[in-house]
Amino acid sequence: MKIAIFHDYFGAIGGGEKVIIEIAKILNADIITTDIDSVKKIDPNVRVFSIGKTIKFPPFKQISAAIRFYSCDFSNKYDLFIFTGNWSHMASHRHYPNIWYCYTPVRAFYDLYSVFLSRQNVITRQLFRLWVHFHRIVDKRSIQKINRIIAISKNVQNRILKYYNIHAEVIYPPVDTTLYKCIEYGNFWLSVNRLYPEKRIELQIEAFRHVPEEHLLIVGGYSKGDHAGAYAEKIKNDLPSNVTLYGEIDGDEILDLYARCKAHICTALNEDYGLTPIEAMASGKAVVALDEGGYRETVTNETGMLVMASVDSLVSAIKQVSQNPEQYRNACLERAKDFDLEKFSEKLRAAIFERDISIYD
């Protein structure tokens, strides 16, 4: 069976991009996308084909991606199509049988609509409303052509039911736990995320401003043409001396940082799932995360702390975990095994090869 995976674009390295690469390896699939800037940083051996670059200015980047996927035609070249991301399923009208491995319904259209709207100025507010109104219609039409939806978490499963009235099964994204190790509990905390407003990195920065004896290393970048440029520049200003922005780094470097950090912190707004806590736990490191979204499905009292989205709550958790970070090691390593690549591979293959893919036709 020849399989193609459609993914929005490879602009910045994130959890979603890592998962796509793993799925492609498991299924020996080709990846069809738009921008391929960062794909070789993840795996130089992946088979990836570009249907054309996007316009690097929001929302034209997103619109141009949607148009490219809607217009492309690989229907006679593959036996099964898997869509990921927010825009690639626009190709569903022509490519079937198909599965949407859903990271989330577009958050700017649905659960975070009011948040995104509040960021607009007087001029762009009406344009944003028009874009969302039109694309909600197009989005829901494309969903009608999807044969099966698989959600990455129960959190996303609930969004799919709420906004599309479809019950999706859940298969958690994987981490190859064999790649991770624990070398030491060093003198720095680690934060790994795209520099997007939804990640609420400013909470991390302010928390560590109040804990000057601890150090925070923030790893990650953003993709040109997304809504994150101004935010990324803003958080770079007035950083306390104990916080360092590291930018994007390659896989070996990030593995080394996980292996040597003291603990991990993540603060995303109602996170879809969150791959980085699993990566940290696979390295034997405790996780301080917010008590919301996908973090509730992965982080336990034995593997770290779930706290309120406030600087005071984060400061308290940072101080508590820092006293004895080693005590979480065994529980973290065991918890990470629940999300191991081998288990994911088994569940993914079962979903594709052992079930009727046309169940939603």
Contacts of 147 (CB under 8 A, 6+ apart): 96, 97, 98, 99, 357, 358, 359, 360, 361
* Cα distance between residue 57 and residue 41, in whole Å: 23
The angle subtended at Cα 95 by Cα 174 and Cα 356, nearest 5°, is 65
Q: Which residue, 298, 294, 307, is CA-closest to 280?
A: 298
Answer whether residue 357 shows pLDDT above 70. Answer: no
Q: Which residues pair with 99 in a beta bridge?
A: 82, 148
DSSP states of 205-257: HHHHHT-TTS-EEEE----TTSTTHHHHHHHHTT--TTEEEEE---HHHHHHH
Residues 118-158: tens digit of each pLDDT: 999 998 999 999 999 999 999 999 999 999 999 999 999 99
| DSSP element (H, E) containing 342 | helix 341-353
Cis peptide before 173 (omega within 30 of 0): no
Region of residue 3 (left: phi > 0; alpha: psi -120 to 50; beta: else): beta
Mean pLDDT for all residues in the chain: 94
Task: Give the confidence band of 168 by pLDDT, cuts at 50, 70, 90.
Answer: very high
- CATH superfamily ID and name for 177-337: Glycogen Phosphorylase B; (3.40.50.2000)
Residue 355 pLDDT: 67
Helix, strand, coil percentages (3-state) for the chain, rounded to 5, are 45, 15, 40
Contacts of 97 (CB under 8 A, 6+ apart): 80, 81, 147, 357, 358
- CATH superfamily ID and name for 3-174+341-356: Glycogen Phosphorylase B; (3.40.50.2000)
Tell me if domain 3-174+341-356 and domain 177-337 are identical in fold: yes
Task: Give the confidence band of 225 by pLDDT, cuts at 50, 70, 90.
Answer: low
The angle subtended at Cα 101 by Cα 46 and Cα 355, nearest 5°, is 105
- For 193, the 3-state DSSP assignment is coil
189: which 2 tokens?
């905390």
Hey, CA dihedral for 40, 45, 46, 48, is it positive or negative? positive
Task: Give the confidence band of 361 by pLDDT, cuts at 50, 70, 90.
Answer: very low
Bridging pattern class, strands 216-219 and 189-192 = parallel
Residue 70 pLDDT: 98
Q: Which residues of 214-251 are buried (b: 16+ CB within 10 A; e: fewer)?
A: bbbbbbbbbbbbbbbbebbeebeeeeeebbebbebbee
Could you tell me if 14 and 84 are in contact, meaning their C-beta atoms sit under 8 angstroms apart? no
Domain boundaries, the chain: 3-174+341-356, 177-337
Q: For the chain, give the percent of residues with pLDDT over 70.
A: 97
Could you tell me if 81 and 146 are in contact, meaning their C-beta atoms sit under 8 angstroms apart? no
| DSSP element (H, E) containing 18 | helix 15-27
* Cα distance between residue 192 and residue 195, in whole Å: 9
Q: Give the dihedral of Cα atoms 158, 163, 167, 173; nearest 10 deg.
A: -50
Region 206-211 average pLDDT: 98
| DSSP element (H, E) containing 192 | strand 189-192
Residue 328 pLDDT: 98
Region 199-211 average pLDDT: 98
Q: What is the largest CA-CA distance in the chain?
A: 60
Answer whether residue 330 shows pLDDT above 60. Answer: yes
Of 3-17, 196-210, 227-241, give the lowest mean pLDDT range. 227-241
| More confident: 240 or 40 | 240
Answer whether residue 244 shows pLDDT above 50. Answer: yes
